[in-house]
Amino acid sequence: MCKYEMISVLAAPGGHASLLLTPQTAILIDSGYAFSAPRMIEMLKQHLQGRPLDYILLTHSHYDHASGSVYCREVWPNLQVIGSEYAQYVFTRPGALRVIREMNQTGCALYGDGTFVDKLDDLRIDIALGDMESLQLGDVRIQALHTPGHTRDSVSYYWEEAGLLIASETTGTMPNPPVVNPEYLIGYQMTLDAIDRLAALQADAVQLPHRRNLLVGRDEVEDFFRRSRYWAVETKNRVIAAYRQGQNKQQLMNIIKDMYYVREKAKGQPEDAFMLNASYTVPMLVKECTGDSI
Ligand SMILES: [Zn+2]
């Protein structure tokens, strides 16, 4: 019997950070924004009660998931940050770091107090995992499952003995249950493949991104992946039908906005950021499903 606790340490709206605590190991799942890191670290210290933070598992390189890792490293110098090989590469690119910095500034202006100490040049992944690669983290054995679709570097983690799945953002988010928001930015079919791959694990519990509570129980997990697939397909169907009727890119983006940019989502994601995502999703769907570039 594997003992663990999953504790949300989300210190600002949006973003994601949860602490996976076992008798031997303390693992942070994603690490939130830069500006909210000091508050998140205080929350972590309260829960850790003198224990060190041992690892951070990053599900992808987006600013609202990865930025806080830099600040944790200062407090816990032996900490190791784990992510996909592609995320490791992303952090070496000046252009990617510039976007991460700008998005943090925007997020800070909206949800923070306007300033943060910028240490983002130190973003890095210490241990890069290939698909299916396993790693022993104290009493936790995780397997990395590459699940691109949201980003190229999206990775999910499965702790088989505990039946615990940490799902990447590719399989969607749930700010407004029971609807599952598709979060595909770079690929439609690869997203469906990721949903099927993770559903087939038949996990007992799933940690979703941007969510405080675990989904617990096979029925709830199965139901989530069924709805994840349904909304992924439904969104594609509506966008492609409207495209075939002659709607332009902005109108197609508004279909997605009308479907998903509801009050709960708006609390954690600025409209600009939501529409920026839609501006990737729409051309991706049209290209993949019709071959046209818009
Ligand atoms: Zn996210």
Residues of the chain with pLDDT under 70: 1
pLDDT at 41: 98
Residue 47 CA, ligand 1 centroid: distance in Å: 24
Residue 272 CA, ligand 1 centroid: distance in Å: 14
Residue 65 CA, ligand 1 centroid: distance in Å: 6
Residue 103 CA, ligand 1 centroid: distance in Å: 12
- What residues contact 227, with CB distance under 8 A and at least 6 apart? 178, 179, 180
pTM, two decimal places: 0.96
Residue 210 CA, ligand 1 centroid: distance in Å: 7
Residue 180 CA, ligand 1 centroid: distance in Å: 14
Residue 270 CA, ligand 1 centroid: distance in Å: 12
Report the alpha-carbon distance of residue 31 to residue 140 in Å, rounded.
19
The phi, psi pair for 88, rounded to 5°, reads -60, -40
How many residues does this entry show for the chain?
294
Instruction: Name residue 166's beta-bridge partners.
Output: 157, 207
The CATH class of the 5-231 domain is alpha beta
Residue 245 CA, ligand 1 centroid: distance in Å: 32
Residue 66 CA, ligand 1 centroid: distance in Å: 10
Residue 32 CA, ligand 1 centroid: distance in Å: 9
The phi, psi pair for 191, rounded to 5°, reads -70, -45
Which alpha helices (H) appear in the chain, and where do they start and end? 37-48, 63-66, 68-75, 85-90, 94-111, 189-199, 218-244, 249-260, 263-268, 271-290
Residue 207 CA, ligand 1 centroid: distance in Å: 13
Residue 67 CA, ligand 1 centroid: distance in Å: 12
Residue 93 CA, ligand 1 centroid: distance in Å: 20
Helix (H) or strand (E) holding 136: strand 134-137
Residue 1 CA, ligand 1 centroid: distance in Å: 31
Residue 261 CA, ligand 1 centroid: distance in Å: 15
Residue 246 CA, ligand 1 centroid: distance in Å: 31
pLDDT at 1: 66
